[in-house]
Chains A and B, each alone.
Chain A
Amino acid sequence: MEPPCMSIAKTVSFRFIFYSLLTGIGVFLVAHSRPEETRLFWSNSELWREPILAGVLCGFLSALLGVYILLNRIVFISLAISQGASFGIFLSYFVAGFFAISLAESPISFIAGLVVALLSAMLFAWLRRARRIPDESLIGFIYVAAAGLTILIGDRISEGHHNIDDLLFGNAVAVTPYELKVITGVTAAILLIHLVFRREFLYASADSEFMKIKGLNVKFWSIFLYFTLTLGITFNLKTLGSLPVFALMVVPPLISLKRAQGIREAFLVSLFLGILIPPLGYYLSFIYAFPTGSSVIAVSCLYTLFSFGETFLNRLFFARSRR
């Protein structure tokens, strides 16, 4: 006898309502315990409007890409790609210093970071096909090689440390309208690519052997998927920094996939959580004067705890509907 199962629409609605309610309760309790800070928060909306919008976009994109990352069992790839980007940024400053060129206000260092991150991801996608090498060891190699080179080069850089910090760890509270436009454009482009080619990305990941026999160019679609992952990770890195992006890539898909009864549900719930977590992180960061990135990470962990409550309620609901 198979277990009774709710329709996808009901399950998704239940999960949306559950996490919205918890978020609402959390905000309400914080507002009551810190009324003065809450009043200041709302009266200074111009301070956080752009950063929070950027955080929401960052969360949305991370949650979308994170589903693929979890399904492909390559959770640490985002850290390896971030490290690749770091190496690229440091390299650009090192080369600029060698030729006595200033990179302040220049997009060159970001582009260099993006290029090296892309090369790292392509290297991973290419080597991954050689089945005898475990994914974890490849990711570990890319991470340690990029980290080692970054430290070596970083030792020889005398200028631009502030800019480098901004590029690597994000400047979550200082997002300009122009940066917001760029983040919106990148998010929209990646979302569009993933909507149009959703089946190719998904099926090539789920059963590459079968899809190859069906004539799908699995290598191309894998590399294209890693390209979008790298693009998303590198831009998000600039907004929130490495660890918060890692948290947003892991936690929403993790919670979503834990109970997902279909691929559509997996994406919908993950995206919803990706939108929900960053604003709460920013809000708590403002009220309690926490560092923003750490606050986003803490909220992500809190939602993971909530997911156990969701599981419990779900079981309760199932038990009742069975009676």
Chain B
Amino acid sequence: MQNPILQLQDLVVGFPGRVLTSPLSLQLPVGARLGIIGGNGSGKTTLLKTLMGLQAPLEGSFRWKPGSAFGYVPQESHVDPLFPLSVDDLLKMGMLQGLSRFRKISKSNKRAGQAMLEEMEILHRQEALVRDLSGGERQRALIARAWISKPQILVMDEPFAALDHRFKEKLWEIFSSWQRDHELTLLIIDHDLNRIINQVDWLIVLGHRGTAIGPVETILQPETLSHAYGAPLHVHRENGQFQVHFL
């Protein structure tokens, strides 16, 4: 593969004395959708944080395409509720590099921010404090913050957790349009196996018994998944959608 956006070379993540994954190797093309699934404590967030450079890998290495910029949507807001930061401030955090040090925020940045919030259906909450938002609104504000600077890679840790069903569906459409227009690469952690396998084209399964990594069609072999989860399961297609059932 020429110029992959991400290369993993026998990457092992975890903490000193606690290995969370077996060695992971992968070459991810630009514009791919990589899903990361696994049970609680399987190392999904640790893997993302390692890939974001927030913690060191235990073994092996990874390399992003040089010059790639990231957007990051955490599992839950890390913005301390003591800070009286508004949704507007949150967007400014996302576009810090593009802001003038001495002048007010430019009209184009303001318009971009408003368009972003409108797309996330929270424009009416622009002036509201982050701590006063509902869980779903906060999640949408965090997605807006991550995407406002139009990064090449969007990394999301359970972005759907606090969203209603309608907006979850809409969000996949929004991601598709961003990918179409900007060659965006997506890395998504999700708990819902049957949802994510139908939305991504690459998959990392962090199972109890092992790790599976590769294109979705390869991973969705019952023996591969069964091995990763350590449980017998059945994979079938229903109305063009993959379905996994544990036996």
Contact = CB atoms under 8 A, between A and B. Distances in A.
B103 to A, nearest CB: 13
A113 to B, nearest CB: 31
A2 B128 contact: yes
Contacts of B78: 207-210
B140 to A, nearest CB: 16
A71 B82 CA distance: 6
Interface string B142-179: 00010001000001000000000000000000000000
Q: Which of B72, B89, B93 has the most CB of A within 10 A?
A: B93
Nearest to B155: A213
A262 B96 contact: no
A211 B93 contact: yes
A305 interface: no
Contacts of A71: 80, 82-83
A214 B94 contact: yes
A262 B79 contact: no
B64 to A, nearest CB: 12
A207 B84 contact: no
A210 B74 contact: yes
B99 interface: yes
Interface string B109-142: 0000000000000000001110010000000000
A265 B84 contact: yes
A199 B96 contact: yes
B92 A260 contact: no
A314 to B, nearest CB: 15
Interface in B52-101: 52-54, 69-70, 72, 74, 77-80, 82-86, 89, 92-94, 96-97, 99, 101
Given A203-B96, A207-B93, A214-B96, A73 B82 contact: yes
A200 B155 CA distance: 23
Contacts of A211: 93, 96
Contacts of A216: 96
A197 to B, nearest CB: 8
Interface in A201-236: 202-203, 205-216
Given A216-B96, A257-B84, 19 more contacts: A2-B128, A71-B80, A199-B99, A206-B80, A207-B79, A207-B80, A209-B74, A210-B93, A211-B96, A212-B53, A212-B54, A213-B52, A213-B54, A214-B94, A214-B149, A262-B89, A263-B85, A263-B86, A265-B84
B54 A203 contact: no
For the residues of A in contact with B, the DSSP-based class is helix
Please classify how large the interface on chain B is, using the bins under 10, 10 to 19, 20 to 34, 35 or more. Answer: 20 to 34
Contact of A210 (B72, B89, B92, B129): B72
Please classify how large the interface on chain A is, using the bins under 10, 10 to 19, 20 to 34, 35 or more. Answer: 20 to 34
A209 B54 contact: yes
A206 B93 contact: yes
A260 B53 CA distance: 35
Contacts of A304: none
A261 B132 CA distance: 10
Nearest to A256: B84
23 contacts: A71-B80, A73-B80, A196-B101, A199-B92, A199-B99, A203-B92, A203-B93, A206-B79, A206-B93, A207-B79, A210-B145, A211-B96, A212-B53, A213-B72, A214-B70, A214-B94, A214-B97, A257-B84, A260-B84, A261-B129, A262-B89, A263-B83, A263-B86
Nearest to A70: B82
A262 B129 contact: yes
A232 B81 CA distance: 26
Contacts of A199: 92, 96, 99
A212 B85 CA distance: 18
A206 B74 CA distance: 14
A213 B101 CA distance: 20
Nearest to B94: A214
Contacts of B77: 207
Interface string B15-54: 0000000000000000000000000000000000000111
Please list the 7 inter-chain residue pairs (A to B) with the smallest Cβ-Cβ separation, ordered nearest first: A260-B84, A213-B72, A206-B83, A207-B78, A203-B93, A207-B79, A213-B52
A255 interface: no
Contacts of A208: 78
Contacts of A85: none
